[in-house]
Amino acid sequence: MTSARFNIYTYVTFSVLHTGLTDGSDVEQTPTLWEREGKSATMQCNHTKDFTYSYMYWFRQLPGETMTLIVFATTGKKDNEHDYGNFDKEKFSASKPVVESGTFIVKNLKPEDKGWYFFLYLRKTSIHSRYFNISTDSIS
C-alpha cells in the first residue's frame, strides 16, 4: 500500500489598490511570502506620509463574503489594546509602534483563512490602502 503525504501551504500574495490621492510610491509592503498551515503570516506596511497619518485599519474579505474590519490600530497603544471588535486576539495581532509603519499577523494559519487582507491608513479625509491575498494550495 502506498501512502501519499500532503502538506498544506498558505501562500500570501500582495496586490495593490490605491485609494485617495496617492500613486503608491509613498507605501512599502512585505513582498510575497509562503507559510505552512499552523504557522503565522506576518504583513508589514510602511508609509512616508507625515505624522498625521497615525490611524491604520486592517480588513479581510473571505471568498463570497463582504469585507470586514478586523482591527483598528494607532500609535501609542500596546498590541492587545488595539480595537479588534469581535475578532479573537489569539488569531490576529496588530502593532503600530510608530506612525510610519504597522504589522498585522494572522496566527495558526488554516485553509479557511484564504481571502483578501488589506490595510488602510488615513488622516481625516485622506485614505490610502493596499490589498493582501491569502490563498491555500495543496502540494504533494
73 vs 11, higher pLDDT: 73
**CA–CA dist 3, 24 (Å, integer):** 48
The pLDDT, as a whole number, for residue 133 is 55
pLDDT (0 to 100) of residue 124:
52
Mean pLDDT of 70-81: 81
| Predicted pLDDT of residue 6 | 47
Task: Give the integer Cα–Cα distance in Å for 12 and 99.
Answer: 25
Angle (nearest 5°) at CA 24 between 96 and 32: 70
Confidence (pTM): 0.71
Residue with cell 506620509: 49
Report residue 48 as a C-alpha cell: 512616508
- Tell me which amino acid residue 90 is: E
pLDDT of 20? 44
pLDDT at 109 over 80: yes
Strongest mean pLDDT among 20-29, 35-44, 88-97, 116-125: 88-97
CB 24 within 8 A of CB 129: no
Domains of the chain by start residue, with CATH: 9-139 (2.60.40.10)
pLDDT band with cut points at 50, 70 and 90 for residue 60: confident
CA-nearest of 131, 126, 103, 132 to 45 is 103
pLDDT in tens, 1-51: 444 444 445 554 444 343 444 555 677 766 666 778 888 988 888 888 777
